[in-house]
Structure 1
Amino acid sequence: MTMSPAEASLREEMARIGAEFRALGLAPGTSGNLSARLDDGWLMTPTNVALGDLVPERISKLDWDGNHLAGDKPTKEAVLHRAFYENRPGTGAVVHLHAPHAVALSCLDGLDAESCIPPITPYFVMRVGRLPLQPYFRPGDPAMGEAVARMADTRSSVLLANHGPVVSGPTLATAKAAMEELEETARLALLLHGRPVRVLGEDEIQPLRETFGAIW
């Protein structure tokens, strides 16, 4: 398969980040998927392949009409990724994991649908922002992508009920950092669950907007 140096480099980066997520325990079994934008389409991790076992040359490549151009068959959850690419300008990468603390949070009843995690740390506000809850859909259901598409223009991340988080970013590195921050904050939220919690107030969030471009 002939490819540009930029595409070859991006494939290598996806395989490396997949292995890092697996090593961190954030991608059990063959769960989770990654994607990244190219000038002539996008790369998507294949179906039924563990993120720790990605082979760069076998990562799927698709065009913007959904045609499979190269590599193995893409994951059925490509609809989640496409929703961000088509509706959130500047999206360069999308990460969806079954990270344990975020998935545990997604199974709780009574979550705030506007943001499943309140602003308990400045880093969550800066790197993730509000985390809206979407209802449960069976994996691969096109309606799942439609639900994400409706909020992608204003939110960079979403939590799927009884499923897990989806995070977008300008690059794979920024999406990876946001996903790790989300998982850590979900862990903190579960540790604090049922206890009185001090959250950041508007007067504390506004400087994060002004200094770091936080979206909250």
Structure 2
Amino acid sequence: MVAPTTPQTDESLDAVIVGAGAAGVGIGVVLEALALDSYAILERDDVGASFRQWPEEMQFITPSFPSNSFGCRDLNAVTTDTSPAFALDRLDRAAHEAVIEAALDDEHHAARRNALVSLFKLRGEGACDALVAAADDPSERVREWAAHLLGGVETDRAAEALSRLADDEQSVVRETAVRAQEVDSGSFRRQFTGVLDETDRTLPGEDDLNRTPNL
């Protein structure tokens, strides 16, 4: 994005954006795409400074409805055609395996959930121990994903964990576990570890868990 010229006091603008945080920059990108260059983004600090002021638990950016009905790759992205989730999914997991495994004990449920996903994509059925342990996680979102991923593991321990999750107190966990019991494990693993390309709008294996907003 080309930054607009700093306006003079007597200059007329079509739009003024207050704040150069993620939302402000995103709006600027949209205005550029609309060929509207008579605008200004006002920021009293550095670009993106507001993000650093968010509570720590809000600074962990995770995928948000990649299959949304707005045509965006990821609702957590700054622009319509980018996605932090897609970029992070291309990291060399093997080189960061120790870090990923350590994140299974993170205080934030989103970090634990994403660590499970990365570990499964890296190890496949070898992630069984971590998935079974996650079946007892206090967060329903982590248990939901544990149930989803256990569908790709063909072991007695995985089946037992799925059976427990099918009786979970949270309906979303129960429903996910029941679906996981019905999938073909080998096919699921091949789908979930599929390679992303630049045109993909959904992450492999995640369709069932992307709950589109009720507009």
TM-score, length of structure 1 as denominator length: 0.28
Please identify which structure carries the higher strand content.
1
Please identify which structure carries the higher helix content.
2
Structure scoring higher RCO (CA < 8 A, sep ≥ 6) equals 1
TM-score, length of structure 2 as denominator length: 0.28
- Indicate the structure (1 or 2) with the bigger Cα radius of gyration: 2
